[in-house]
Amino acid sequence: MVRMKFLVAALLALAPVTVAAQVAAAPVTPVETVAVPAGAAAPVRVAPDSGFGQPNGSWQLQQPVTKIARDGYGMVNGILNPLMIGISIFVLALLGWVIFRYRAARNPTASRTSHNTLVEVIWTVVPVLLLVWIAVPSFRLLANQYAPQKADLTIKATGHQWYWEYEYPDQGGFSFDSIMLTKAEAAKAGSPYMLDVDNRIVVPVGKTVKVLTTSADVIHAWMVPAFWVQMDAVPGRINETWFKADKPGVYFGQCYQLCGTRHAFMPIAVEVVSQAQFDAWVAAKKRENGITDAPAAAAPAAAGGSAAAEAATTPTPAEPVAPAPAPAAAAPTA
């Protein structure tokens, strides 16, 4: 029995080396940025691509399209999955060996060993080291995910039972509701049922988008898996998250907090387009909501004209007047 415990200790000591080798051999393929013609027209409900931005029937995560998502994807596939597989194989193999080696036929007299200090120290220290190894990149990922960024665009997302309302405060403050398509509408549009909506969010590709979340009733959560973004929407509170999509397309998400009977029917749809398409979409939304841009200030005149005009309108200070000479004294009489 003592020899078996020492064997367990030796295998546990070698486990981190095996896992580290598996992690190093698990590269993550980055997503390439797809260029969109700058002169393209405003978006007209881009058709979803089953290859990304939505569930594809696989047990794996969705294809990442932001840096944060790629970091998270790499942590899951490069650290967590190999670690879980390695520990599972090791424990099952050890269990099978113990069942065979220490069966009753070969050991009619059971061992009375009560403890082994070295083995107990090892199976305490090794899991702690593994947890620290997981925690360091995990904390770094969380810090990057929620660190405030300088935003190119801000969107306010307000959760309702059971739909989302969006506002673009930097583009005149227009807003709209985003409601799930019915089964017939989704089939007609060629969109996945329970994922697409009547009014999608539209954002430019390669720009940092800040999302402010809140709620008008109960707690909701704004979540898009391909962006690796999830943030609670709490009544009376403004929460903040961000994303920067590298690839144009349509990306779907859902409310991620149980919020009532129709919780499953308030999806999220984000359409990532070129800057030209986004500008055209914003202009159309402004016209639709009767928002006009403030007139630009008049340009200053040319330098010469400006100087002349300034000289003409600037009063000239009066010149000092010399005092009148004093009258001459009268000549004395004889």
Question: Which of 139-143, 146-150, 160-164 shows the lowest mean pLDDT across its residues?
Answer: 146-150
Say which residues have a Cβ less than 8 Å from residue 180's Cβ, sequence separation at least 6.
Answer: 163, 194, 196, 197, 198, 265, 266, 267
Q: Kindly state the average pLDDT of the residues 231-250.
A: 94
pLDDT, mean over the chain = 78
Q: How far is CA 6 from CA 91, 115, 333, in A?
A: 15, 12, 147
Single-letter residue type at 179:
I
d(CA 89, CA 83): 10
Band of pLDDT at residue 223, cut at 50, 70 and 90:
very high
Whether pTM > 0.75 for this model: the answer is: no
Q: Kindly state the average pLDDT of the residues 237-261.
A: 93
Q: How many CA atoms lie within 13 A of 9 on its CB side?
A: 15
> Which is higher by pLDDT, 133 or 327?
133
Domains of the chain, by residue range, sit at 67-105+118-146, 153-289
Judge contact between 117 and 128, C-beta under 8 A: no
Single-letter residue type at 158:
T
d(CA 82, CA 20): 9
pLDDT at residue 129, as a whole number: 94
Quick one: what percent of the chain has pLDDT higher than 90?
49
Q: Kindly state the average pLDDT of the residues 9-22.
A: 38
Tens digits of per-residue pLDDT, 80-94? 999 999 999 999 999
CB-count exposure of residue 157 (10 Å: 0-12, 13-18, 19+) = buried
Q: Kindly state the average pLDDT of the residues 38-47.
A: 53
pLDDT of 26 higher than 60: no
pLDDT at residue 64, as a whole number: 87
pLDDT at residue 104, as a whole number: 84
d(CA 198, CA 195): 10
pLDDT at residue 43, as a whole number: 53
pLDDT at residue 296, as a whole number: 56
pLDDT of 25 higher than 90: no
pLDDT at residue 106, as a whole number: 83
d(CA 282, CA 39): 15
d(CA 207, CA 275): 9
Q: How far is CA 71 from CA 65, 131, 209, in A?
A: 11, 18, 18
Q: Kindly state the average pLDDT of the residues 280-297.
A: 82
Judge contact between 98 and 4, C-beta under 8 A: yes
**Nearest CA among 85, 89, 34, 31 for reference residue 63:** 31
What topology is assigned to 153-289 in CATH? Answer: Immunoglobulin-like (2.60.40)
Question: Which of 13-27, 82-96, 184-198 shows the lowest mean pLDDT across its residues?
Answer: 13-27
d(CA 157, CA 224): 13
Band of pLDDT at residue 113, cut at 50, 70 and 90:
confident
Q: Kindly state the average pLDDT of the residues 245-252.
A: 92
- Strand ranges in the chain using DSSP code E only, listed in sequence order: 153-160, 163-168, 174-178, 201-204, 209-215, 220-224, 229-233, 239-243, 249-255, 267-273
pLDDT at residue 33, as a whole number: 38
d(CA 169, CA 253): 22
Range 168-172 contact pairs with CB under 8 angstroms and sequence separation of 24 or more: 168/282, 168/285, 171/282, 171/285, 171/286, 172/286, 172/289, 172/291, 172/293
pLDDT at residue 93, as a whole number: 97
Judge contact between 165 and 158, C-beta under 8 A: yes
> Which is higher by pLDDT, 48 or 161?
161
pLDDT of 330 higher than 60: no
Coil, helix or strand at residue 52: coil
Tens digits of per-residue pLDDT, 44-67? 566 666 555 777 777 778 888 899
